[in-house]
Amino acid sequence: MTDIQPPRPTPETAPVSVWATGQQVHATQRQGRYHRDGTAHPAKMLPALAAHAITQYTRPGDLVLDPMCGIGTSLVEAVRCGRRAVGVEYEARWAGIARTSLDMARDAGWDEHAAVYTGDARRLATILPADYLGTVDLVLTSPPYGDSTGGHVITTPGQGVRKFDHRYGSPRDRGNLANVGLGRLLSGFTTILAATVPYLRPGGHIVITARPWRHRAELIDLPTYLTTCATQAGLVPVERCVALLGRLTNDGELVSHASFFQRNHVVKQRQAGIPAHVIAHEDVLIFQADTGHATGARKTGDHADAPSAPPLLGFAA
Ligand SMILES: C[S@@+](CC[C@H](N)C(=O)[O-])C[C@H]1O[C@@H](n2cnc3c(N)ncnc32)[C@H](O)[C@@H]1O
With the most atoms of ligand 1 within 8 angstroms of its CB, the residue from 90, 189, 190, 303 to mutate is 90
> Which ligand 1 atom sits closest to the C-alpha of 69?
5
Torsions phi, psi for 102 (to 5 deg): -70, -35
Q: Whose Cα sits closest to atom 26 in ligand 1?
A: 70
pLDDT of 160:
62
Is residue 90 exposed (0-12), middle (13-18) or buried (19+ Cβ within 10 Å)?
A: buried
What's the 68 CA to ligand 1 centre distance in angstroms?
A: 4
Q: What is the pTM of this model?
A: 0.84
How many angstroms does the Cα of residue 71 sit away from the middle of ligand 1? 8
Residue 311: pLDDT band by 50, 70, 90 thresholds?
very low
Among the residue ranges 13-22, 47-56, 225-234, the one predicted with the least confidence is: 13-22
Decide: helix, strand or coil at residue 138: strand
Asked which of 5-9, 248-252, 269-273 is least confident by mean pLDDT, the reply is: 5-9
Closest alpha carbon to 162 in 26, 94, 260? 260
43 CA to middle of ligand 1, Å? 9
Task: Supply the DSSP string of 205-239, one letter for each residue.
Answer: EEEEEE--EEETTEEE-HHHHHHHHHHHTTEEEEE
177 DSSP 8-state letter: G
Closest residue CA from atom 5 of ligand 1: 70
Q: What is the pLDDT of residue 279?
A: 87
Give the Cα-Cα-Cα angle 295, 296, 300 (nearest 5 degrees): 120
- State the Cα–Cα distance between residues 167 and 108, nearest whole angstrom: 31
- How many angstroms does the Cα of residue 144 sit away from the middle of ligand 1? 6
Q: Are 205 and 236 in contact (CB under 8 A)?
A: no
Q: Is the pLDDT reported for residue 290 higher than 50?
A: yes
pLDDT classification of 146: cutoffs 50, 70, 90: low
Half-sphere exposure of 203 (CA within 13 A, CB side): 4
> Which pLDDT belongs to residue 304?
35
Pairing state between β 235-244 and 218-220 = unpaired
Atom 3 of ligand 1, residue of closest alpha carbon = 70
pLDDT higher for 218 or 32?
32
- Phi, psi for residue 48 in degrees, rounded to 5: -65, -35
- Residue 91's pLDDT is 97
Number of H helices, E strands in the chain: 8, 14
Going from the Cα of 146 to the center of ligand 1, the distance in angstroms, rounded, reads 11
Nearest residue by C-alpha to atom 13 in ligand 1: 68
292 confidence band (pLDDT: 50, 70, 90): low
Q: Using 50, 70 and 90 to split pLDDT, how confident is the model at 39?
A: very high
Alpha helix segments (H runs only) across the chain: 26-30, 47-57, 73-80, 92-107, 182-196, 222-232, 260-271, 291-300
Q: pLDDT (tens digit, 9 = 90+) per residue, 87-134?
A: 999 999 999 999 999 999 999 999 999 999 999 999 999 999 999 999
Which residues form ligand 1's pocket by a CB distance below 6 Å? 41, 43-45, 68-71, 73-74, 88-91, 94, 120-122, 142-144, 168, 175-178
The Cα 112–Cα 84 span in angstroms is 5
Query: So what's the pLDDT on residue 301?
Result: 32
Q: Across-strand partners of 241?
A: 284
Ligand 1 geometric centre to CA of 16 (Å): 28
Q: Which amino acid is at 264?
A: N
- Determine the pLDDT at residue 303: 32
- Specify whether the CB–CB gap between 152 and 163 falls below 8 A: yes
22-299 CATH, one of 3.40.50.150, 3.40.50.300, 2.30.40.10, 3.20.20.100: 3.40.50.150
| Cα 200 from Cα 311, distance rounded (Å) | 28
Question: In 3D, which of 235, 214, 211, 215 has the Cα closest to residue 224?
Answer: 211
Task: Give the distance (Å) from ligand 1 centre to CA of residue 67.
Answer: 8
* Shortest-distance atom of ligand 1 to CA 122: 19
Q: Directed axis angle between helix 47-57 and helix 73-80, to 10°?
A: 50
Helix (H, G, I), strand (E, B) or coil at 84: strand
Rounded to whole angstroms, how far apart are CA atoms 233 and 112? 30
pLDDT above 60 for 54: yes
pLDDT: is 141 or 12 the higher one?
A: 141
